[in-house]
Amino acid sequence: MKSLEHIRIVAVEPAGALNVGSVARVMKNMGLSQLVLVSPRCDHLGEEARLMAVRAPEILENAMVVQTLPEALEGCQKAIATTGEPRELPTQMEAPKQVLPWLLEDDAPGAVIFGREDNGLTNTELNHAQRFLCIPTGDQYTSLNLAQAIAVCCYELKSLSTTAEISHAPAHQDLADLKDLEGYYQHLERLLLKIGYLHEHTAAARMNKFRSLYNRNALTQAETSMLRGILRQVEWAIAHPDKLTE
């Protein structure tokens, strides 16, 4: 059986304590233990949450509470964002059975990110993920309750962890940390704006394409450091044109 200890369930601004309690319960049912709450709008340790958690109060008590999504992903190398709305994303949407095996290919720290009950994740928040998950539903009512969506994904992860059909890719323990990747993307955007390749009104769309390009190639920590070094050298060259040699 494949361990699920390296996978975080991240909920952004959950508003319902009953939902959070239900999430804790299903996580324990399916063998997951890392719950991260980003700026929760409810009391995850209150009576309502504990009532729904039943025999999983420790999931609530040990939940990490942070203020921003980047904090929630600190230390992760893989991140999948969930969305139920059609979006113009640089990477295609995938069903749980297609994308979740990626988190089990190795033991690289990973996260599945869930948005707010009322309007999900923003486009900016989606940018922190490398792949996107959409749970197939009927056409008449496509919106899933937060706890239900997490339950579907936790079940799929548990099912995948116990099946012999998982295809194990070579270990990628040197994958870039998502925090370092985000630092590179922001550095690249600043530089491209400075030299006029990007413009303020189109920068976000162009950067989404760059993110998709790099995410498809699963950058390692060493490769990210190399790319960051190139940006620093370009900035130096711009500042010292007289010192460049032909």
pLDDT at 167 over 60: no
Tell me, yes or no, whether 87 and 203 share the same domain.
no
Tell me, yes or no, whether 143 and 191 share the same domain.
no
pLDDT at 114 over 60: yes
Domain count, the chain: 2
What whole-number percentage of the chain has pLDDT above 90? 74
pTM summary value? 0.87
pLDDT number for residue 217: 84
The model's confidence at residue 215, banded by pLDDT at 50, 70 and 90, is confident
CATH number for position 190? 1.10.8.590
Q: Which helix (H) or strand (E) holds 48?
A: helix 47-53
The strand ranges marked E within the chain are 7-12, 34-38, 64-66, 78-82, 93-94, 110-114, 131-133
Domain that holds residue 28: 7-161
pLDDT at 22 over 60: yes
Domain finish residue from 132, 161, 190: 161
Q: How far apart are CA 136 and CA 190, in angstroms?
A: 38
Tell me, yes or no, whether 106 and 132 share the same domain.
yes
Q: How far apart are CA 16 and CA 9, in angstroms?
A: 16
Tell me, yes or no, whether 129 and 207 share the same domain.
no
Query: Residue 114's CB: how many other CB atoms inside 10 A?
Result: 25
pLDDT at 20 over 60: yes
